[in-house]
Structure 1
Amino acid sequence: MGILVSLLVLSFLIFFHELGHFLFARLFGVHVERFSIGFGKVLCAKRVGGTEYALSAVPLGGYVKMKGQDDTDPTKVSYDADSYNVKPPWQRILILLGGPLFNFLLAFFLYYAIALMGANAYQPVIGMVQPGSPAKEAGLTKGDRILAINDQKIRTWDDLSGMISHSSGAIEMLVDHNGTLKDIVIAPRELEAKNIFGETVRKRMIGIGPSGAVTTVNYDPLSAFGYAWEQTLAASKMIVVSVEKLIEGVVPAKEMGGVIAIVQVTADAAQHGLVALFALTALISVNLGVLNLLPIPALDGGHIVFTLYEMLFRRPPNEEVVYRLTVAGWGILMALMVFTIYNDIARIAHG
């Protein structure tokens, strides 16, 4: 059942991405010849309004084939009025941006739904106090619940961590200590910690860790917009930084996962309920949006670079150069796919 859910999630993400390209293409009068979920041999298809809607054999992607645009042969062009090639560069860029944009929109809608259903978050309950830390000196102990900082209500551990790290000077905390309310004044200090990439960073802290207890935070329809916006931005930033750390070598290449890993984690999330599944789907959707904007010729980002070149130099790039770069781009993507699948199999083999 979990694998079936994973495949449905992947298919839906691909569909939504390609839907963005499709709608922007139709908005600007470009004829779409085929809208396919999957690559390779067409398993079934139906033609509606001049467009063939297809389900193909390899469910690892999808594509929208527009008139005058062919990734398998970039030299094939059409100069008909409803062709992609004849549209102004700014319209072609918007068509290319349509897919990633829909990935971000989908993530936003999913985070919005999570906010209405009840978002899971760590409770602001102390599970650990570092020796010699400001928290230890102020008398905070394991099990204390932080209710407010500087008269601002604290609902989650992220609220607590964010307010401390962005504070200046001493802060006033309202603490529930075994049912007794206590006002504590504490001065955060810059301390060393490890970020999610294993790097040592310095930020204002008081030397406490969460207990791991989880709470459900419910949002009204209006405040849910703010939550969805913040989560979409945070997920986008995390993916961008992750790519940067991967290029820098901070994150080892062996940590990269492929389609097998996606199926595994999606199946696992499905076992933990709809909120967990929506959260992971939103993260994967943002991931697809960001990665498709990378300036690799076979991706949307590569096509955008070619189109920007045309806008800047008032002429399209050399067809032979575009062809060779596109073939190289596909080579890079195929190599990455094989490498990540190898990583997935190695992880499974090593438990």
Structure 2
Amino acid sequence: MGTITFLLVLSFLVFFHELGHFIAARFFGVKVHVFSIGFGKQLYAKEWMGTTWQFALIPLGGYVKMKGQDDSNPALKEDGDDSYNTKKPWQRIIILFAGPFANFILAAVLYFIIALMGATTWAAQVGTVQENSPAYQAGILPNDEILRINDTEITSWDEIGKTIINTEGALKFFIKRDGQIIAKTISPQISDSENMFKEKIKKRMIGISPSGKIITLELTFPQALVYAYEKTIFASTMIFQGVQKLIQGVIPSSEVGGVISIGKVISDASESSIIALFAITALISVNLGVLNLLPIPALDGGHIMFNLYEMITRKKPSDQVFLFLTIFGWVILGSLMLLGIYNDINRIFLNN
């Protein structure tokens, strides 16, 4: 069942990505020969609106084959108003960007659905208080529920950290303890901490940790929209930074995962709950969007760079350079895929 869920989710994400390309291409009058879910031998196909819609044997991706554009033949040129290569560079950039953009939109829709179904988060309840910390000195105790900081209403644990970091000076905490509301003034101190990439950082802290209590957020329609926007932006930023840290060597290459890791994560999420499945699908959708925007030849981001070059210099890269960079891009992608699979297999053997 987990494998089926993985293939369905992956096909769903690929469909939306390629649908973005398809809609933008048709908007600018580009003929789309093939819309494929999967690669390799054709398993099922149907002709509709001048396009062959098909499922192929290897369901790990997909593509739209436009007139005048073919990654397997980078030097391809076809004449006509309905050809990709006769369109202006800015039009081609929109067609290329539309795929990743569709993934971001899909993620936002999924996060919005999660918000309406009942997104969960840590409660604003204190678990432990570090000895001699500002919170300890102010008299904060375990199980205290934080209701407000200065004039900011607090509904979840995340909001506590954001408020502490973004507010200067001493803070007035309004807490609930044994049915009573108590006010405490706390002066945060700059302390050593770690970010999500295990890097040493300095930040304003008061020395408390969450109790681990989970609450369901009751969000209105507008609040759900804000929740979806913020989650999509946060996921995008996190993945962009993750790629940057991987290149810098902060994140070891052993952390790179492949299709096996993705499949396991999706399978585990599907067994947990529909909300968990939606959440991991949204995250992978953002991941797909971000990675496709990387300036690597053979990816959408690489082709966008080629077109930006053409817009600035008023000339296209030579066929030889275009072909070399595209092949180089495929080598990079192939190497990353092999690295991911190698790491997945290593993890399997280490866990057994």
For residues 198 and 49 of structure 1, what CA distance do their matches in structure 2 show?
51
Shift of 1:274: 1.5
- 1:63-94 deviation digits (Å, cap 9, x = unpaired): 00000111111112101111001011111000
Helix, strand or coil at the partner of 1:60? strand
Partner of 1:138: 138
For residues 128 and 6 of structure 1, what CA distance do their matches in structure 2 show?
39
- 1:178-209 deviation digits (Å, cap 9, x = unpaired): 33321111111111111111111111110111
- 1:94-141 deviation digits (Å, cap 9, x = unpaired): 000000000110011111111111111000111111111101101112
For residues 100 and 266 of structure 2, what CA distance do their matches in structure 1 show?
21
Helix, strand or coil at the partner of 2:41? strand
Partner of 1:105: 105
The answer as to 2:59 corresponding to 1:59 is: yes
Q: Which stretch has the larger CA shift, 84-93 or 142-151?
A: 142-151
For residues 18 and 265 of structure 2, what CA distance do their matches in structure 1 show?
23
For residues 273 and 344 of structure 1, what CA distance do their matches in structure 2 show?
24
For residues 46 and 320 of structure 2, what CA distance do their matches in structure 1 show?
35
For residues 168 and 348 of structure 1, what CA distance do their matches in structure 2 show?
48
Query: What TM-score do the two structures reach when normalised by structure 1?
Result: 0.98
Partner of 1:275: 275
Maintained 8 Å contact 1:117/1:218: no
Q: How does 1:189-200 map to 2 (within 5 A)?
A: 189-200=189-200
Structure 1 residues without counterparts, runs of 5 or longer = none
For residues 178 and 72 of structure 2, what CA distance do their matches in structure 1 show?
67
- 1:239-264 deviation digits (Å, cap 9, x = unpaired): 01101110111100100111111110
Partner of 1:79: 79
Shift of 1:151: 3.5
Shift of 1:48: 1.2
Matched residue type, 1:147: L
Extract structure 1 runs of 4+ deviating beyond 3 A. Answer: none
For residues 275 and 339 of structure 1, what CA distance do their matches in structure 2 show?
30
- 1:126-175 deviation digits (Å, cap 9, x = unpaired): 11111111011011122111111113221100011111111111111111
Partner of 1:257: 257
Helix, strand or coil at the partner of 1:172? strand
Matched residue type, 1:173: F
Maintained 8 Å contact 1:166/1:204: no
Q: How does 1:197-216 map to 2 (within 5 A)?
A: 197-216=197-216
Matched residue type, 2:54: A
Structure 2 residues without counterparts, runs of 5 or longer = none
Partner of 1:50: 50
For residues 126 and 2 of structure 1, what CA distance do their matches in structure 2 show?
37
Partner of 1:173: 173
Q: How does 1:1-351 map to 2 (within 5 A)?
A: 1-351=1-351
Shift of 1:315: 1.2
For residues 200 and 142 of structure 2, what CA distance do their matches in structure 1 show?
25
Matched residue type, 1:263: G
Helix, strand or coil at the partner of 1:222? helix
Query: What TM-score do the two structures reach when normalised by structure 2?
Result: 0.98
Matched residue type, 1:257: G
C-alpha RMSD of matched pairs (Å): 1.0
Identity among equivalent positions (%) equals 53
